[in-house]
Amino acid sequence: MNSPLITLENIDIKARERSILSIPSFELQKGEILGVMGPNGAGKSTLLKTLALLDPPQSGSIKFQGQTVSDSSALVVRRKIAVALQQSLLLDTSVYQNVAVGLKIRNRPKREIKEQVAYWLDVFKISHLAKKHAHHLSGGEAQRVNLARAMILEPEVLFLDEPFSALDFPTKVQLLKDIKQVVEETNTTTVFISHDLMEIKYFTNRLAILIGGEIKQHGPTEEVLAFPNSASATFIGEWNHLLS
């Protein structure tokens, strides 16, 4: 049975009088791994910021687990959400401290923090980097720290905005395998923005095509890619043509 984790209704976001995101209704189901694809400037990051409650919408409503998110409840709901961006923006300290910081802010006991950091460093295969300064890491290592820092919070939903786009192919493939395993094992609902069809095909089970601020198609990833509708065909069709 479908169980919506986040519901958008009548979302309309404007910038300089121009509509940049217009979503009459949309549901993110619990446990799904949703890919979001679309051309540059389509509104993907704006959609992510809206779903992740980073920017309150100018109109419309957002529900989280069926409850309308208000200004006062947004802070509590945001604690159930983790975001990892392309630029990992790690703090000017060790890998260990970067991964620990979220639990420290939540005033978790020291012993729990130590155990949890050790666990997530191990999951993302970066235990050997614990003492290394976060600004002295390779791109792939930094993204692993970024993901460990997000997953240690045990989020209900994880948002990934092009996290692998700057990585070389073998690094990307290994990291994709690892994060897929982690979100599947933890049943973490995930929203993944990417320009890379291989990443989308491998990682996601549902796909939304966003063009001009509107969701033109939304369904199982394989179905959307195999049978793009007339609106998304202009975008998906180019890919299919290139790869056929």
Ligand X SMILES: Nc1ncnc2c1ncn2[C@@H]1O[C@H](COP(=O)(O)OP(=O)(O)OP(=O)(O)O)[C@@H](O)[C@H]1O
Q: Interface residues with ligand X (CB under 6 A)?
A: 15-16, 20, 38, 40-46
Q: Which residue's CB is nearer to ligand X, number 120 or number 203? A: 203
Considering the complex, what minimum distance in angstroms separates the CB of residue 52 from ligand X?
A: 13
What is the nearest approach in angstroms of ligand X to the Cβ of residue 32?
20
CB of 1 to ligand X, least distance (A): 32
Cβ closer to ligand X: 43 or 57? 43
Q: Which of 120/235 has CB closer to ligand X?
A: 235
3-state secondary structure of 41: coil
From residue 117, give the alpha-carbon distance in Å to each of 104, 135, 146, 231.
11, 18, 13, 45
Beta bridge partners of residue 7, listed in sequence order: 27, 63
| Secondary structure E strands in 163-236 | 189-193, 206-211, 214-220
Q: What gap in Å lies between CA 52 and CA 49, rounded to an integer? A: 5
CB of 213 to ligand X, least distance (A): 7
- What is the C-alpha separation between 175 and 34, in angstroms, rounded? 18
Closest contact distance (angstroms) between CB of 224 and ligand X is: 17
Q: 55 or 112, CB closer to ligand X?
A: 55
Name which of 49 and 172 has its Cβ closer to ligand X. Answer: 49
Buried b (16+ CB within 10 A) or exposed e, 121-147: bebbebeebbeeebeebeebbbbbbbb
Q: E-strand spans in 97-237?
A: 157-161, 189-193, 206-211, 214-220
